[in-house]
Amino acid sequence: MPKLKHMARFTTPVSLNDTKDTPITSMVKPTLTFTESVRAILASQTQPLSVIEITELVSRETKHAYDETYIRLALKELINSGKASSRKETHEERRVRAQGEDARSLRATLFWSPAGIVPPRTIAEVVPGIALYKPETFTARKIYKYPTKKIQRAHLNAQLVEVTPLPVAVSSNQVVDYLIEKMVAERTADLQSQLDAANAKMAKLQELFKSAL
């Protein structure tokens, strides 16, 4: 005859909601690395992108401002692992990105995922707000307003110094000779006036000397 404890074991109701021995079928989705995040964002695009555009897209998607250096390292890793490809843009693609204008800067490198032939770039602005071409702004040049001839003449007359007009010279030597003669004449006149003053004083002294005798 079974004992009471054995009967209790067989008569205990079984709970259908017991998950103690239920196998785990759900797994936590692993977090993407930064490089894989860049690959996923790049793979979702329909146009090949430059580093500047990819940097802006990744920063917007992750809500974190990344520097282009980190994006370049991630792209290099993707290319080395065969998950992305790149090439230099053509001159025509350059004009497309510049909205038909002739851009003077160097051609950019375009990236594409998955790896393979990089398709042609056909759209100027893929990332809203990020465009190669920006209209140049020119600072208004201050235009100097030249004075009228009447004002110029009055200003010139105010600055003129009274000088003795020179005769028209045929050659530069004649001008030099004229200036030398003028300087000698002025110096001679000065010396003559000094000599006349000295003679006048001498005459007065002689008169005083005669009167004293």
pTM for the model: 0.49
What's the pLDDT tens digit per position in 77-103?
999 999 999 999 998 998 888 877 777
Q: Which of 75, 95, 112 is the last residue of a domain?
A: 112
Quote the percentage of the chain above a pLDDT of 90.
33
Lookup: tokens for 199: 């003679």
In a domain, 22, yes or no: no
- Greater pLDDT, 149 or 55: 55
Domain count, the chain: 2
Partnered with residue 112 across adjacent β-strands are 85
Domain that holds residue 175: 169-213
Going from the C-alpha of 38 to that of each of 50, 61, 78, 88, 112, the distances in angstroms are 13, 10, 9, 20, 11
In a domain, 94, yes or no: yes
In a domain, 68, yes or no: yes
Under DSSP, the state recorded for 49 is B
CATH number for 96:
1.10.10
In a domain, 176, yes or no: yes
Q: Which of 95, 112, 129 is the last residue of a domain?
A: 112
pLDDT interval class at 74 (50, 70, 90) = very high
pLDDT interval class at 208 (50, 70, 90) = confident
In a domain, 103, yes or no: yes
In a domain, 134, yes or no: no
Q: Which of 96, 112, 128 is the last residue of a domain?
A: 112
In a domain, 54, yes or no: yes
Partnered with residue 81 across adjacent β-strands are none
Arithmetic mean of pLDDT over the chain: 76
Which pLDDT value is given to residue 138? 43
